[in-house]
Amino acid sequence: IKTAVFISGTGSNLKNLIKFSKIKNSPISIDLIVSNTSKAKGLKFSNQFNIKKYVSSFKNYKIAETKILNLLKKENIKFICLAGFMKILSKSFIKKFSGKIVNIHPSLLPKYKGLDTHFKAIQNKDKVAGCTVHFVTAKLDSGKIILQKKVKISKKDTSISLAKKVLKQEHKLYPAAIKKLFN
């Protein structure tokens, strides 16, 4: 299924999804990279892997979303993976792609929706953290959960060390969640 990945930053999840798309019988091909900033380091993977990219500042949300929807249609994209994408898509955009947008979030949802998930987990002296792949709905980080992975928090963990541990698990979780979705 032709897939677009939306990013705002490093793109380590994007890179991992590109690798996953190249495995024999992978359910996805990545045909478009979308970002809300030209500063996203992950855009380098567009050149590296010869994948079309589209950058929009989202200054004007309506125009940005309309252009992206037109491009998705033109490229016949049927599935969207958000990976560190820092803009909240509108209800109408999500509706047009009903049920075919997924996101990876660095916490065990429904705990810690939004930002600073690792800091909150440590502050609350949680024993376990993790990451979640879920469907995107109009309500932030609240869509149906597809798959989760737990990560033990050790006493000496900081939010930085925990973020590294969770990110490693994210790279395993995203492909596993997509496999579960399509197989």
104 part of the interface to ligand GRF, by CB under 6 A: yes
Query: For ligand GRF, which residue of 84, 130, 143, 175 counts as binding (CB under 6 A)?
Result: 84
Query: For ligand GRF, which residue of 5, 83, 136, 146 counts as binding (CB under 6 A)?
Result: 83
10 part of the interface to ligand GRF, by CB under 6 A: yes
36 is in an annotated binding site: no
How are beta strands 2-7 and 29-35 bridged, if at all?
Answer: parallel
Closest approach of Cβ 107 to ligand GRF, in Å?
Answer: 8
Which one, 22 or 73, has the nearer CB to ligand GRF? 22
Closest approach of Cβ 33 to ligand GRF, in Å?
Answer: 12
Question: Which residue matches tokens 């990976």?
Answer: 83
Is residue 27 reached through a cis peptide bond, with omega within 30 degrees of 0 on the bond before it?
no
CA distances to 43, 71, 101, 113, 154 from 94, rounded to whole Å, are: 23, 15, 7, 18, 38
Q: Which residues lie closer than 8 Å to 1 by C-beta, 6 or more apart?
A: 27, 28, 29, 78, 79, 182
Residues that bind ligand GRF (CB under 6 A): 7, 9-14, 42, 83-84, 104-106, 131, 167, 170
Q: Which residue numbers are catalytic?
A: 105
